[in-house]
């Protein structure tokens, strides 16, 4: 570090990370008139809930659907953005299967559009397993899906996509992912799966969306904070503790050392980053591991466009797992120009060959594979950019819940430390779950 004068800051609460959860925590502290400092590594706030802009085209990190189950959470959201001004969208999502775009979640129509042999196998296997549903808690993802839905549905709908997203075979993944995507009651869910309309967020037929993307909500939250309390471009270097209390942080901000003394620490940064600053040795592979995401956005001149908002691509013929078209979420996401931005999500591991691909190579591969899907054929790329997210998904490997709990008990036993949000707790939280978790931690309230 350079600079001779070390800056000292004293505050009641230090909030680490300025994503959705860190901002929610800071905003709650601000409402309670408690002193706080928020430290964010990136120049912009919002973390995984940011909205980026390329030549006036806006895009989220994967399109953020708002599905809140709890009425109190809607009321809270309404204080940030008028809920009745949110767009209410009917879900239009597809799965690219055997060179066809079929509805996902599949409808009865798409089931019958499958080859007859698939249909016969699905019905036969389901009739065998339906009377004998198996517990979600006992098994890995593969066993659970096969034993509840049969081999064919597993192979067609779940195996390839799941392995492409997570980068590990389905027998090494926790079955909690099945609960998220498919639901716990197989007999009811197989009908819901094909007829649509249930309360599982992942399959919900409609959702809310801010006209200018999720970043619109983030901006309101960020603007509600006292500017002096928010430090961007800074990260923790090492913590100083006394007995079971963390007391002070040595941080680096824009190349300068800053000392921050605090009474309470709320951290929403990825656990791996926290462990690093606490000098906690941890086995990266077995315990705290992540799936990374590359977001490749291409701006095309277009003649015609599909009407879907996003489409899953399970086959390894495509470098991406999902395409997303922000224009089909909100007209506010595009300038009027006869062009369209298409966003491709590529999952990989940090520092693997895919992560290390040059931006040019990634854009060329995505363009090549988009052309393979027929719809966009002949369109010309006018602009593109690549964003990399090292900590996009906490890896939900088999028994990860138990291992993470034990690791936290062993290494994070400080009485003034709170872990908040998705990255801070290392949980597969959506926006609403982050909100409920932050409410509990900051206000000690049941959400």
Ligand X SMILES: Cc1cc2nc3c(=O)[nH]c(=O)nc-3n(C[C@H](O)[C@H](O)[C@H](O)COP(=O)(O)OP(=O)(O)OC[C@H]3O[C@@H](n4cnc5c(N)ncnc54)[C@H](O)[C@@H]3O)c2cc1C
Task: Rule CB under 6 A: say whether 418 interacts with ligand X.
Answer: no
Beta bridge partners of 299: 341, 383
Give the one residue of 64, 146, 327, 426 binding ligand X; rule: CB under 6 A. Answer: 64
Taking the C-alpha atoms of residue 42 and residue 260, their distance in angstroms, rounded to an integer, is 18
Interface stretch with ligand X, choices 191-199, 258-266, 267-275, 328-336 (CB under 6 A): 267-275
Question: Contact between 62 and ligand X (CB under 6 A)?
Answer: yes
Q: Is 256 in the site for ligand X (CB under 6 A)?
A: no
The nearest distance, CB 77 to ligand X, in angstroms, is: 11
Counting residues that bind ligand X (by CB under 6 A) gives 33
Torsion of CA 61, 25, 395, 40, to 10 degrees: 60
Other CB atoms within 10 A of residue 69 CB = 12
**Distance between CA atoms of 268 and 18, rounded to whole angstroms?**
8
User: What mask, x for binding ligand X by CB under 6 A, covers residues 378 to 417?
Assistant: --------------x-------------------------
Per CB under 6 A, contacts with ligand X among 275-314 are 293
Site for ligand X in 198-237 (CB under 6 A): 235-236
Q: What is the token pair recorded at 33?
A: 């008139």
Q: Which two tokens stand for residue 92?
A: 């239009």
Q: Which of 146, 248, 422, 439 binds ligand X (CB under 6 A)?
A: 422
> Is the bond leading into 56 cis (omega within 30 degrees of zero)?
no
Of positions 325, 431, 435, 442, contacts ligand X by CB under 6 A: 431
442 binds ligand X (CB under 6 A): no
- Which CA distances in Å does 382 have to 298, 307, 379, 400? 8, 21, 10, 43
Tokens 């009027």 belong to residue: 336
The stretch near ligand X (CB under 6 A) out of 62-70, 96-104, 116-124, 144-152 is 62-70
Indicate the pairing of strand 2-16 with strand 256-267: parallel
For residue 431, whether the previous peptide bond is cis, meaning omega lies within 30 degrees of 0, is no
**Residues at the contact surface with ligand X, assessed by CB under 6 A:** 16-22, 39-42, 47-49, 61-62, 64-65, 235-236, 268-270, 273, 293, 392, 421-423, 429-431, 434
């Amino acid at each position: 570090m350079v600079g001779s004068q070390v800056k000292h800051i004293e505050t009641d609460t230090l909030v680490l990370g300025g994503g959705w959860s860190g901002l929610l925590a800071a905003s709650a502290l601000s409402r309670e008139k408690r002193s706080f400092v928020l430290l964010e590594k990136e120049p912009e706030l919002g973390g995984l809930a940011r909205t980026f802009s390329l030549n006036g085209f806006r895009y989220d990190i994967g399109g953020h659907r708002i599905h809140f189950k709890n009425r109190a959470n809607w009321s809270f959201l309404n204080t940030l953005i008028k809920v009745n001004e949110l767009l209410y969208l009917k879900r239009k999502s597809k799965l690219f299967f055997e060179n066809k775009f079929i509805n996902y979640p599949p409808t009865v129509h798409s089931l019958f559009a499958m080859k007859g042999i698939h249909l016969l196998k699905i019905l036969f296997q389901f009739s065998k397993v339906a009377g004998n549903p198996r517990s979600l808690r006992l098994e890995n993802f593969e066993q659970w899906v096969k034993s509840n839905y049969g081999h064919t549905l597993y192979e067609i709908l779940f195996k390839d996509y799941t392995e492409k997203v997570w980068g590990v075979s389905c027998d090494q993944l926790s079955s909690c992912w099945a609960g998220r995507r498919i639901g716990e009651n197989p007999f009811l869910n197989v009908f819901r799966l094909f007829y649509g309309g249930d309360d599982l967020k992942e399959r919900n037929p409609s959702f809310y969306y801010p006209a200018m993307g999720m970043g619109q909500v983030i901006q309101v939250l960020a603007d509600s904070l006292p500017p002096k309390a928010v430090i961007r471009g800074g990260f923790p270097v090492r913590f100083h503790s006394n007995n079971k209390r963390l007391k002070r942080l040595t941080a680096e901000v824009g190349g300068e050392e800053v000392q921050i003394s605090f009474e309470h620490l709320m951290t929403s940064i990825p656990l791996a980053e926290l462990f690093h600053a606490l000098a906690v040795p941890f086995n990266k592979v077995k315990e705290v591991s992540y799936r990374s995401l590359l977001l490749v956005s291409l701006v095309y001149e277009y003649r015609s466009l599909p009407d879907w908002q996003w489409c899953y691509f399970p086959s390894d013929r495509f470098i991406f797992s999902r395409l997303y078209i922000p224009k089909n979420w909100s007209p506010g996401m595009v300038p009027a120009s006869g062009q369209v931005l298409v966003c491709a999500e590529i999952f990989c591991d940090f520092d693997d060959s895919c992560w290390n691909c040059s931006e040019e190579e990634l854009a060329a591969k995505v363009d090549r594979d988009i052309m393979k899907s027929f719809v966009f054929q002949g369109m010309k790329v006018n602009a593109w950019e690549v964003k990399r997210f090292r900590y996009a998904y906490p890896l939900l490997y088999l028994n990860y819940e138990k291992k993470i709990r034990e690791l936290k008990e062993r290494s994070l036993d400080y009485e003034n430390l709170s872990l908040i949000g998705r990255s801070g707790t290392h949980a597969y939280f959506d926006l609403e779950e982050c909100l409920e978790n932050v409410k509990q931690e900051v206000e000690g309230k049941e959400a």
